[in-house]
Structures are given as structure tokens and as C-alpha cells.
Chain A
Amino acid sequence: MKEKHRFSFTMFILTMIFFYLPIAVLIIFSFNEGKTMAWSGFSLKWYQKLFFESEELWKAVFNSVIIAIFSSLVSTAIGTLGAIGMYWYRFRSKKYIQVASYLPLIMPEIIMGVSLLIFFVMFKIPLSLLTIFIAHTTVSIPYVLFIVMARLEEFDYSIIEAAYDLGAKEIDTLFKVILPISMPGIISGFLMAVTLSLDDFVITFFVSGPGSSTLPLYINSMIRFGVSPIINAVSVVLIASTILLAVSTRRFYKYMFS
């Protein structure tokens, strides 16, 4: 069995090198003096350019954040209510809604992008931040739905019955029992929706209009111009902030729910 471990250890190390080498190269060259991928000395000038001379980029960041917040709020609300309805009740259209909400998870992104684009054009909805918001909300809903459902699975329906039994009306039960107990699921669903929205490129690419650039769209346009040290700097800032966000979320989680 020992040798087996040695083999898997080697593979693990190779995988880690594979994972982190590109990221390490990006980080190192974001501090490069020169414009190319040839090292010519340490410099912070690309960060300076990124933070003080990239107005367009920050506009895209702003758009991304706005869309992420609104689409996450809406998808969290719809997904949470849907999870409550689908998990605890039976009704006629349930099977349909169930299948319809699974499908976006396995549908190739490009198809969702293309179909939404055609849909918006057909109904003469101008491509804008609004259409991106709709697209992101649609993508996030199934995730929120299933994350909240996973949370509800930890509870027995009897606690809802207990609330009714003690005199609570449906609205009391929703606000005083169901939502509070699902809160960890709701929050992770929301964070997931934020992540999906900030990260999405393919669907956004199809449904965005003039003036509605998001950060991934902006990064894409930069990449197409070739290697640029500013992208390296953007990458480092993005990686650092996602890790920071992830770690603080975990802290927050541990603090709140255990």
C-alpha cells in the first residue's frame, strides 16, 4: 500500500504545480517593470495604472457589482420561496417546476446566452444592464433553490406544524420560523449568486449592450489585445479579494451558525 501512496503523492504534487504555477507567474509578473513577460525589474507601476488610470475598468467593476447585488437579491428571494414551496408541499405543477429548474444547471452556458439574446431581440427588450440582470438572475435561481433546499432537508416538517399548532398563521410561520431556520442556506445561496454573477462571462457576452460592460467583459477585451501587465495586476487583485472574501465568509459562518 505504501507505493500506492507514493504514486498518488506524486500526482497530487504535480496537480498542485499545475494549479498554482500559472497563478504564481501572474502574481510575479504583475510586479514587472517591463511590458512583456520578460523580467526587467520590480515595479508597482501597473498597480498604479490599474487604480488611478483605468476609468473604464472601474466603470465595468461598478456595473458588475450593481448587477451582482440586484440579481443575487432577486434570485435569492425567488429561489428561497421556491425551495420552501417545492420541499414541503405537493401540488400539480410541482414536477414541471422541478424539472424546469434542474435544466439550467446542465444546459451549456452558450445556449442560455444565445436563447436569451434571441428572446430579448424578439420581444424588443434593449440589451442593457437590465438584460444582464435578468440573465444572471436566471442562472443563479437554481443554485439558490437547491442550496436552500439542502438546508431545509435538515429540518423535520414537524417544526412547521408546531408553529401552526401554536396558533401561527402562514405569514407568521414564514417570518418567525421558516426564514430564520433557513438563514444559513439563504446566505450561502446569496453568496453563490454573487459569485456566479461576478464570474459570468459567456452569457453576459451575448446579452450585454453598448455601455453595459462588466468586469469579465472588460477583461476579455483586454485579453484580445494580447498580454498586458495590467491584466496581471487585475488578476492578482481579483484572486486576493476572492480569497479574502471566502475566508471572511467562512469566519462569519463559523461565528454565526455554530
Chain B
Amino acid sequence: MKKNYGPVYSLPLGLWITIFFIVPTCIIFIYSFLTKATYGGVQWQFSLEGYKALANTSFINVVWITVYISVISTFLTVLFAIPTAYYIARNKHKNQLLLLVIIPFWTNFLIRVYAWIAILGNNGFVNNILVKLGVIDTYIQFLYNQYAVILVIIYTYLPYAILPLYSSIEKFDFSLLEAARDLGATKAQAFFKVLLPNIKGGLATSILFTFIPALGSYVIPMLVGGKDSMMLGNIISRELTTTRNWPLASSISVVLTVITMIGVLLFLKLNKNNLESIKKLVVREKAGEESI
């Protein structure tokens, strides 16, 4: 006779995730349909105000900026990640080189952002040098614009993009490239027609790992962004803590969640993989040390 202990083992997990993840997520959804109270909180009265408030150009502009910044940074990140991952995968000392990619990972996230403030800030390293060299008289404002946000997003998520690309390029049989060249393909043709289709999975994953967190950016635009780089995360925080319009904060959160899920579903469709593959990659990613 068989006994099934699965439910017993999984009970604490099920309870915890339900209470502290599923319920709060549902509450946000419900709050987005309620009426705002004066000093934060809500009145339990159905209202579509939270969503009506979204139908104005400034909000749509924020959505546009969020998606725009995310797309551009993802594109540039992957552009750098492919050759870097390729070089590491083909190198004799790939484990050591991989470690070099992972170390910045281990550095505290805020410190990584701060480093760029120290370098490009108005009193930062670069301005100081330029002034000292007499190139400029007074500082140039490098930060507090979209470019700074994109730069720091790339800096933060580049390691996330390199690792999945590395693991799929490493599995690639390089004699196929030689075969393609032998059959008359140019280098570019060999790259686009042979290498790229074979590392599709890794490519899709690294796009996902850059694009999804970029969409949810909050700290980076808060610290190095300006008026032109307010992202969804920032206005959620503003509505929650400054303006104290909780239904609006909730409805914006719902919008951000929906955009994120569209991104994930697109990935699943492109990658033809199931949730399982994301799970494995996310874990392997974060547990960087295990991939070496």
C-alpha cells in the first residue's frame, strides 16, 4: 500500500506562498477597483477612478518611456553579451573568465548603481578630471537623463544576459561553423544561419532576463534618472508614498504586471519551452557560483 506524503511536505510552502504572495497580489488587484481615502488607504466602494486616471497622455508617456528604455537597454545588453559570451565559451580558461563575469554580480546592487554616480556625477570622477585637464570650466551633467538610466541598466543586467548565452554557446558544436564555411557561407551567413538559430534558447533567455527586470526598474531611474526617465516603478512609488492614492498605485501595478506577463508569455511562445526552463535558468543564474 502506498501513502502519499506530498501534501504534508508541501503544506508549509503552499500556505506561505498563498498568504504572503497570492493574497497580497489579489489585494492589489481588488484595491485598483476601490475608491481612494484621504490619507492613503481605501474606502470599500467600487470605483474605476484608478483606471480612468490612467487615460491621459502623461501616463501613456510613462508607459512608452518604460517600454522604450527597456527595449533599448535590452538590445544593447544583448549586443554586448553575444560576443562576450562567445569569447568566454571558446576560451581555454572559460571557468576563470566566467568568474570574472560573476564577481560584479556578487556586488551589492546599490553599490553598482552608486559607482556610476561616483564616476559620472556632477562632482564625480570624470568631471573632476575634465576640469583638472582644463577641458571644461564647470561640470557637465552626465546623469539624470535617459542615457544614464540605460547605461546603468546595461551595467546591472549584462551579467544576467551573458550567462544563458554562454551556456548555450558552450553546447554549440563549432564544427558546424566550419562546415558552413566549407559549404561556401560567408562569415556573416555562418553566424546568422548556423550559430544564431542554434543558440536561440539562450538568446531568448538573456533577452528575458534583461527585459523583465528593466521593465520593473525603480531604483535606477530614482537614483540616476531625470524628468525624461520616469518609469512605471517610480510613479507607483510616488502614488503610494507621496500622493497616497492607493487605488491608482494599485492600478498602475496591475498595468506593470500585465506588461511583464505579456513579455514572459512572448518569451514562452518564442522559446517553445515551458515554465520549467525559466525556473531552471533563473535559479542557475542567481546561483551563479554553481554554474562554474
Contacts and interface: CB of A to CB of B under 8 A. Distances in A.
A and B touch in the complex (CB under 8 A): yes
A120 B159 CA distance: 34
Given A103-B21, A227-B124, A78 B12 contact: yes
Nearest to A245: B106
A101 B216 contact: no
Nearest to A18: B155
A25 B177 CA distance: 40
A234 to B, nearest CB: 8
Nearest to A200: B109
Interface string A152-184: 000000000000000000100000000000000
A249 interface: yes
Given A1-B177, A91-B6, A223-B110, A146 B115 contact: no
Contacts of A79: 13
A7 B83 contact: yes
Chain B, interface size category, equals: 35 or more
A82 B12 contact: yes
Nearest to A84: B9
B282 A105 contact: yes
Interface of A: 1, 3-5, 7-12, 14-16, 18-23, 25-26, 29, 36-38, 77-79, 81-82, 84-86, 88-94, 96-97, 99-112, 114-119, 121-122, 134-135, 137-138, 141, 143, 145-147, 150, 170, 188, 192, 195-196, 198-199, 201-202, 206, 216, 219-220, 223-224, 226-227, 231-232, 234-235, 238-239, 242-243, 246, 249-250
15 contacts: A5-B87, A14-B80, A22-B119, A37-B124, A82-B12, A85-B10, A86-B13, A91-B10, A97-B13, A110-B256, A112-B24, A115-B27, A137-B16, A202-B219, A232-B118
Interface of B: 3-14, 16-18, 20-25, 27-28, 31, 40-41, 80, 83-84, 86-88, 90, 97, 100-101, 103-104, 106-119, 121, 123-125, 127-128, 132, 155, 158-159, 162, 177-178, 181, 187, 191, 212-213, 215-216, 218-219, 223, 233, 236-237, 240, 246, 249-250, 253, 256-257, 260-261, 264, 275, 278-280, 282-283, 286-287, 289-290
